[in-house]
């Protein structure tokens, strides 16, 4: 999705300018979670950067193995086939994702919901990967759908375990997986002493480490998801993560609370201290009404969002206003 | 936004946990089954372990252990603050906030009176002293391969294990892998290969010598006196221990031993001779060119010929190569016979069975799926597909269902099955798949190959050479 400079098919053709003119980056790329993860390191020696990147990419693969909806041995898959009431022991990294997903779901009254899977009917989410199947997902217009809702998931923090409280409920952490992987990679890179870097997952999630070498913030331009020539907003990010969510073409996003398609929002961007959280918030902002959106950013420290509706009208929430970058041109 | 994101993250985590604890379950319209937490809560069947060495391999093992019910990590031991923080942090965030973290192994053993077992994943030269102390303290031990970098030390581990009556599992995880167990059945029960005459295996993986990651090593430097106390002359020796004879046995023990272990296992006998070649010329030149700050001692490649006298197949000639200066072909083992051959690897995509045209059709042949790899057409190497009776499903047959689950794990979590075998053996439910005697046989295979390469002589071996008196 449209965060400045990121065209997945021509990465690196135009060097990203978020770090300012003349900032030279060492770039590393790794495929995981069906997208490209990229690291841009500034002010770094090649040998250090390369070994740090390898360690961080390993971490991303580790997260994928824990969180994948598709791999039968992931924590998520084991939960999805476990008999109701029988606890599944989670790895703490996967457990934290589950806790975050449940929390955001509760704070949004279910507008964000990692158990929305069954609304897809007997199709699997990947059946609707437009690129693979040429088919776009048209969600069923059902209301009061059973087996959906995080209240059906029991989590036990002391035991680091989760259980389904009814057989049908199915968890998919795909909406925060990339963010969680970026969070974990950033932790490794910081630990390895990387001081200035930008981490990117696909076109939807970005998180800086430190500041660019000669600027006081990372300058990001957000483009209209349906018309990349149109600049929507510019933000100056000093820390935290930014995520984007949008509808593809004239598609729809599903409201888990009703099972119906919502078409009001065309694209949403969210900022939060961590990338898993900004991922979840960006998804929630596609669905929430203005009032609930205001409430949500008040409840999450340092959270903010910006979204554009069908008519192209934009609106900022929470911390977003303070991130606005007025400087024009690099 | 806050600069201190690490701190931020910690606070958020805490709030999340508290939040969950406080939240009462909202009962909806449909019936909900309350979770049976006691199934995974610590109780009398919980196996309490100490993790020793949380480097690259230790971390892999720990990450699996944290997902195994009824196993609890009570203590973590590592001399390196980087590994301590990582290992201790993971366990704290999992099911044991009270985990103890030690720098000194002896201190851990002295203080932890309630452990059942230790998992040892330190450099090879430490396996013997650490294993023997744990066995003497009455603990079961899962010790990573290679058992040791000297035969005398490996033998003393066998002796210590016998004296203790405790379990000692050596980390040759292929022994617990259902694909490898299937290969044994294929060759011995189904006689798929007919008479095996030649075996061939390789592990080729480019491992360039690079300088230490300076920033990271600086952040987590170990004081020189601590390094020396533990046998390391410098941070480089500590970090790149694999290149030094006093710590390791080179690529033959590091990688080769996994596969030569398979040769002996699937042929049902240890070899009767070995002749090997190897050197470190490229590594030495590369280390100099890249300024890595030390001279590599261990080989950068080794080629070994083994002769076997298999009770099942008769005389078998085997060739093995391990190469750190090229990645060509990756890693696999091939067993060749006059009816067919089996190629097997921890990488599933490299495994297949090839049938010779002259051989008779097998009972399950119409069930097997055809695959083509690198121009060869054969059968998919799949225990379910090749053995399942017609019409049988996993739902109807619990044994098949269990096998299916194991096979899934074997595709990506190769060490998990070996750990599970260890824990099941502690509970008395299974036999160890790689006990001390087996680990010793493999140590002889690879350390004798090193000896042959150094002396330039072929070494004849008898069955007695593989047994500890
Ligand atoms: N089974 C397998 O597939 C497999 C794969 C890789 C490694 N291994 C084995 O695992 C072992 C560790 O290898 P690695 O790659 O993780 O090495 P590593 O260097 O990454 O890790 C070794 C760890 O041991 C710690 N350590 C060193 N001396 C210590 C001491 N005296 N007391 C406590 N801790 C100490 C180090 O600080 C480090 O954390 C080796 O024996 C290796 O052969 C097995």
What is d(CA A175, CA B183) in angstroms, rounded to the nearest whole number? 40
Least confident of A159-163, A259-263, B234-238: A259-263
pLDDT at B22 over 60: no
Note the pLDDT of residue B315: 98
| CA of residue B413 to ligand 1 center, whole Å | 18
Q: Are residues B202 and B141 in the same domain?
A: no
Inside any domain, residue B427 = no
Handedness of CA B364, B369, B373, B377 (dihedral sign): positive
Give a yes or no: residue B343 inside a domain: yes
Atom of ligand 1 nearest to the CA of B80: 37
3-class secondary-structure state, position A119: helix
Q: What is the ipTM of this complex?
A: 0.90
Judgement on whether residues B97 and B118 belong to the same structural domain of the protein: yes
What domain count does chain B have? 2
Judge if B165 and B208 occupy the same domain.
no
Q: What are phi and psi of B253, to 5 degrees?
A: -85, -30
**DSSP category for residue A45:** -
Whether residue B210 contacts residue A47, with contact meaning beta carbons closer than 8 Å, is answered with yes
Residue B375: phi and psi, rounded to 5, are 90, -10
Domain membership flag for residue B76: yes
Choose the final residue of a domain: B175, B195, B219: B175
Please report the pLDDT score of residue B13 as a whole number. Answer: 43
Ligand 1 contacts CB of residue B222 (under 6 A): no
Residues B169, B184 within the same domain? no
Q: What is the pLDDT of residues B314-347, one digit of tens each?
A: 999 999 999 999 999 999 999 999 999 999 999 8
Q: Is B374 on the interface with A (CB under 8 A)?
A: no
List chain B residues with CB under 8 Å of A85: 33-36
Q: With 50 as the cut, is the pLDDT of residue B24 above it?
A: no
- Of all protein residues, the one whose alpha carbon is nearest to atom 25 of ligand 1 is B53
Residues B371, B224 within the same domain:
yes
* CB contact B37 to A (< 8 Å): yes
Q: How far apart are CA B86 and CA A171, in angstroms?
A: 28
Residue B276 · residue B304 · CB < 8 Å: yes
Q: Is residue B460 part of a domain?
A: no
What is the distance between the terminal CA atoms of chain B, rounded to a whole angstrom? 67
pLDDT category of residue A119 using cuts at 50, 70 and 90: low
Ligand 1 pocket test: which of B144, B237, B243, B416 has the largest number of ligand atoms within 8 Å of its C-beta?
A: B144
Better pLDDT: A1 or B235: B235
Tens digit of each residue's pLDDT (9 = 90 or more) over B149-208: 999 999 999 999 999 999 999 999 999 999 999 999 999 998 999 999 999 999 999 999
Q: Could you read off the pLDDT of A6-22 as tens digits, one per residue?
A: 333 222 224 467 888 77
Q: Are residues B130 and B224 in the same domain?
A: no
**Tokens encoding B211:** 């300088």
Highest mean pLDDT among A85-89, B382-386, B407-411: A85-89
Quick check: B213 contacting A, CB < 8 Å? yes
Task: With cut-offs at 50, 70 and 90, classify the pLDDT of residue A264.
Answer: confident
Q: Of the candidates B369, B355, B228, B217, which has an alpha carbon nearest to the alpha carbon of residue B293? A: B217
* Cis preceding-peptide flag for B146 (omega within 30 of 0): yes
> Is residue B272 domain-resident?
yes
| Ligand 1 proximity of B418 Cβ (cutoff 6 Å) | no
> Is ligand 1 within 6 A of the CB of residue B105?
yes
Question: Where among B175, B209, B230 does a domain terminate?
Answer: B175
The confidence score (pLDDT) of residue A184 equals 98
Same domain membership, residue B195 and residue B55: no
Please write the tens of the pLDDT for every residue from B235-278.
Answer: 999 999 999 999 999 999 999 999 999 999 999 999 999 999 99
**A237 close contact with B: CB closer than 8 A:** yes
User: B162 near B261, Cβ under 8 Å?
Assistant: no
Count Cβ atoms below 10 Å from residue B149 Cβ, excluding itself.
26
Average pLDDT of chain A?
A: 83
In a domain, B45, yes or no: yes
Same domain, B336 and B402: yes
Domain containing residue B34: CATH number: 3.40.50.720
Interface test with B, best of A158, A184, A302 (most B CBs within 10 A): A158
The sign one gets for the Cα dihedral A328, B4, B9, B12 is negative
Q: Distance between alpha carbon A206 and the CA centroid of its chain, in Å? A: 9
Question: Is A113 within 8 Å of chain B by CB?
Answer: no
Does residue B152 form part of some domain? yes
In a shared domain, residues B147 and B227? no
Residues B129 and B182 in one domain: no
Shared-domain flag, residues B290 and B214: yes
Backbone angles phi, psi at B301, to 5 degrees: -160, 155
* Chain A contact set for B13 (CB, 8 A): 96
CA distance B142 to B422: 7
Cβ-based neighbour number of residue B235 at 10 Å:
18
Cβ–ligand 1 distance for B83 under 6 Å, the answer yes
Question: CA dihedral defined by A251, A256, A257, A261, rounded to 10 degrees?
Answer: 10
- Judged by CB atoms closer than 8 Å, whether chains meet at A71 and B23 is answered as no
Residue B4 has pLDDT above 70, yes or no: no
Least confident of A8-17, B97-106, B430-439: A8-17
Q: Tell whether B422 is covered by a domain.
A: no
pTM across the whole model: 0.91
For residues A246-252, give the mean pLDDT. 63
Residue-range definition of the domain harbouring residue B228: 177-407+436-455
User: What is the CATH classification number for the domain harbouring B196?
Assistant: 3.30.360.10
Q: Residue B220's CB: how many other CB atoms inside 10 A?
A: 18
Buried b (16+ CB within 10 A) or exposed e, B394-415: eeeeeebeebbbbbebbbebbb
CA A238 from centre of chain:
18
* Strands annotated E in A110-181: 153-156, 161-164
A85 in contact with chain B, both atoms CB, cutoff 8 A: yes
Residues 6+ apart with CB under 8 A from B434: B169, B170, B171, B172, B173, B175, B176, B418
State which of B130, B151, B175 marks the end of a domain. Answer: B175
One domain, residues B49 and B38: yes
Q: Which residues of B touch A273 (CB under 8 A)?
A: 1-2, 5, 8-9, 12
């Amino acid at each position: 999705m449209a965060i400045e400079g990121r065209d997945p098919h021509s990465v690196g053709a135009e060097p990203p300018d978020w770090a300012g003119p003349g900032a030279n980056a060492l770039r590393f790329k790794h495929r995981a979670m069906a997208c490209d993860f990229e690291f841009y390191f500034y002010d770094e020696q090649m040998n250090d950067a390369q070994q740090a990147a390898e360690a961080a990419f390993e971490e991303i693969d580790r997260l994928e193995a824990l969180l994948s909806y598709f791999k039968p041995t992931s924590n998520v898959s084991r939960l999805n086939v476990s008999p109701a009431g029988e606890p599944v022991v989670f790895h703490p990294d996967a457990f934290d994702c589950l806790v975050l997903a449940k929390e955001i779901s509760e704070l949004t009254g279910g507008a964000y919901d990692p158990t929305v899977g069954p609304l897809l009917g007997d199709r699997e989410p990947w059946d609707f990967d437009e690129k693979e199947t040429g088919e776009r997902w048209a969600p069923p217009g059902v209301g009061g759908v059973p087996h959906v809702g995080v209240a059906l998931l029991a989590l036990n923090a002391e035991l680091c375990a989760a259980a389904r409280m009814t057989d049908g409920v199915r968890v998919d952490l795909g909406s925060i997986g990339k963010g969680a992987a970026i969070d974990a990679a950033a932790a490794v890179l910081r630990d390895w002493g990387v001081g200035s870097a930008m981490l990117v997952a696909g076109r939807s999630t970005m998180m800086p480490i430190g500041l660019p070498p000669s600027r006081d913030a990372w300058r990001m331009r957000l483009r209209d998801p349906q018309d990349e020539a149109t600049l929507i907003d510019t933000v100056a990010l000093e820390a935290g993560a930014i995520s984007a969510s949008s509808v593809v073409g004239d598609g729809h996003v599903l409201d888990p609370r009703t099972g119906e398609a919502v078409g009001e929002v065309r694209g949403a961007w969210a900022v939060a201290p961590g990338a898993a959280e900004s991922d979840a918030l960006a998804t929630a902002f596609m669905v929430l009404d203005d009032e609930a959106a205001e409430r949500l950013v008040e409840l999450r420290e340092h959270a903010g969002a910006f979204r554009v509706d069908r008519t192209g009208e934009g609106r900022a929430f929470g911390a977003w206003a303070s991130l606005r970058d007025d400087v024009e041109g690099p | 936004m806050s600069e201190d994101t690490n701190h931020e993250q910690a606070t958020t985590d805490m709030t999340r946990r508290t939040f969950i604890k406080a939240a009462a379950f909202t009962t909806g319209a449909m019936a909900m089954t309350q979770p049976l937490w006691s199934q995974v809560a610590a109780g009398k069947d919980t196996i309490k372990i100490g993790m020793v060495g949380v480097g690259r391999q230790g971390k892999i093992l720990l990450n699996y252990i944290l997902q195994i019910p009824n196993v609890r990590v009570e203590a973590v031991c590592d001399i390196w603050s980087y590994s301590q923080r990582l290992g201790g942090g993971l366990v704290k965030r999992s099911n044991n906030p009270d985990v103890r973290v030690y720098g000194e192994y002896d201190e851990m053993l002295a203080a932890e009176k309630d452990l059942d077992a230790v998992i040892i994943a330190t450099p090879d030269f430490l396996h013997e002293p650490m294993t023997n102390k744990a066995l003497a303290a009455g603990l079961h031990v899962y010790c990573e391969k290679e058992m040791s970098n000297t035969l005398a030390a490996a033998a003393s581990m066998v002796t210590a294990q016998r004296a203790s009556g405790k379990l000692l599992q050596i980390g040759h995880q292929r022994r617990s892998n259902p694909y490898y167990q299937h290969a044994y059945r294929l060759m011995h029960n189904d006689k798929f290969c007919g008479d095996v005459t030649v075996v061939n295996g390789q592990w080729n993986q480019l491992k360039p010598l690079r300088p230490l990651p300076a920033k990271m090593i600086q952040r987590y430097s170990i004081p020189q006196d601590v390094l020396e106390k533990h046998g390391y002359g410098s941070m480089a020796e500590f970090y790149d221990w694999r290149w030094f004879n006093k710590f390791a046995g080179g690529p033959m023990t590091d990688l080769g031993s996994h596969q030569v272990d398979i040769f002996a296992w699937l042929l049902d006998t240890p070899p009767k001779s070995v002749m090997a070649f190897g050197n470190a010329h490229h590594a030495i030149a590369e280390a100099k060119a890249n300024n890595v700050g030390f001279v590599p001692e261990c080989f950068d490649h080794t080629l070994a010929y083994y002769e076997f006298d298999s009770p099942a197949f008769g005389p078998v000639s085997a060739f093995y190569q391990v190469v750190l200066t090229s990645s060509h072909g990756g890693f696999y083992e091939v067993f060749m016979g006059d009816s067919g051959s089996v190629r097997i690897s921890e990488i599933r995509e490299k495994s297949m069975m090839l049938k010779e045209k002259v051989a008779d059709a097998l009972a399950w042949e119409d069930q097997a799926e055809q695959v083509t790899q690198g121009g060869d057409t054969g059968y998919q190497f799949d225990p379910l597909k090749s053995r399942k009776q017609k019409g049988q499903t996993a739902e109807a047959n619990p044994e098949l269902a269990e096998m299916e689950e194991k096979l899934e794990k074997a595709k990506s979590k190769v060490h998990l099955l070996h750990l599970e075998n260890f824990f099941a053996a502690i509970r008395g439910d299974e036999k160890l798949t790689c006990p001390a005697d087996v680990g010793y046989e493999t140590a002889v295979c690879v350390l004798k190959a090193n000896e042959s390469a150094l002396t330039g002589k072929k070494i004849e071996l008898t069955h007695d050479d593989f047994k500890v008196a």
